[in-house]
């Protein structure tokens, strides 16, 4: 009887732990969530934290949950970059590029060049819109409980990234109707070599 009681308590504690871990990102206050996302795991793709702490799908799901809850990626990036040296800040735009490419999943033609033509705010807006459209809530059960719980997941199979990208590009054209090739070349240079933050 004691053994059954101990096993039952063990299963209950595992169930509580799994539910708490699953619901954590959905319930954590946004300011605290910003702090969680404002680190090298999310914004330095040359770091060991980027490679070893979480997979791309997990990063995108967490960023998507943050955005779906009303979080602002501009604030997260600014918080990450505020006390960092140049070598760390310059990696931010490369992470943006990687996230956008992963969400688009090879369905947007000439994506890298098109990203490079965007300004900082436009690139962050593009990522935000792709995350809003590419993450959704699913209800899952774990094997220890019949109770289902909500989980934000990456769901970009039917994502129409091209129309989202085209809308951002159109906004750019309207804001910069007389943009020269030299200005575009200069922006591409900044994407590759300089820090925006």
> pLDDT tens digits for 129-186?
999 998 877 666 666 666 665 666 777 777 888 999 999 999 999 999 999 999 999 8
What is the Cα–Cα distance from 16 to 63, expressed in whole angstroms? 24
Nearest to 73 by CA among 95, 55, 51, 49: 95
Are the CB atoms for 107 and 157 separated by under 8 Å? Answer: no
Domain boundaries along the sequence of the chain = 2-193
The size of the chain, in residues, is 197
Lookup result for tokens 């098109």: 114
The rounded percent of the chain whose pLDDT value lies above 70 is 79
Lookup result for tokens 């039917």: 158
Are the CB atoms for 107 and 161 separated by under 8 Å? Answer: yes
pTM, to two decimals? 0.81
Alpha helices in 69-160 (DSSP H): 73-81, 86-89, 91-104, 111-116, 120-134
In this predicted structure, what is the pLDDT of residue 177? 94
Predicted confidence band of residue 17 (pLDDT cuts 50, 70, 90): very low
Take residue 167 and report the two structure tokens written for it: 């809308």
Are the CB atoms for 94 and 112 separated by under 8 Å? Answer: no
Tell which wins on pLDDT, 191 or 123. 123
Q: Which of 2-6, 34-38, 87-91, 140-144 has the highest average model confidence (pLDDT)?
A: 34-38
Residue-wise pLDDT for 84-110, tens only, equals 998 888 899 999 999 999 998 888 889
């Amino acid at each position: 009887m004691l053994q059954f009681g101990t096993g039952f308590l063990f299963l209950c504690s595992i169930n509580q732990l799994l539910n708490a871990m699953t619901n954590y990102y959905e319930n954590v206050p946004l300011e605290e969530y910003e702090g969680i996302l404002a680190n090298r795991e999310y914004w330095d793709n040359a770091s060991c934290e980027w490679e070893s702490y979480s997979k791309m799908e997990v990063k995108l799901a967490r960023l998507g949950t943050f955005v779906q809850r009303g979080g602002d990626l501009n604030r997260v990036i600014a918080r990450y970059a505020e006390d960092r040296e140049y070598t760390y800040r310059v990696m931010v735009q490369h992470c943006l590029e990687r996230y956008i490419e992963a969400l688009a999943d090879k369905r947007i033609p000439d994506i890298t060049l098109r990203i490079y033509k965007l300004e900082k705010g436009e690139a962050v807006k593009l990522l935000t819109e792709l995350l809003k459209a590419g993450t959704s809530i699913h209800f899952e059960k774990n094997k220890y409980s019949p109770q289902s719980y909500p989980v934000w997941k990456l769901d970009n199979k039917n994502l129409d990234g091209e129309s989202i990208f085209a809308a951002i590009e159109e906004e750019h054209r309207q804001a910069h109707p007389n943009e020269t090739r030299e200005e575009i070349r200069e922006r591409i240079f900044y994407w590759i070599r300089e820090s925006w933050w």
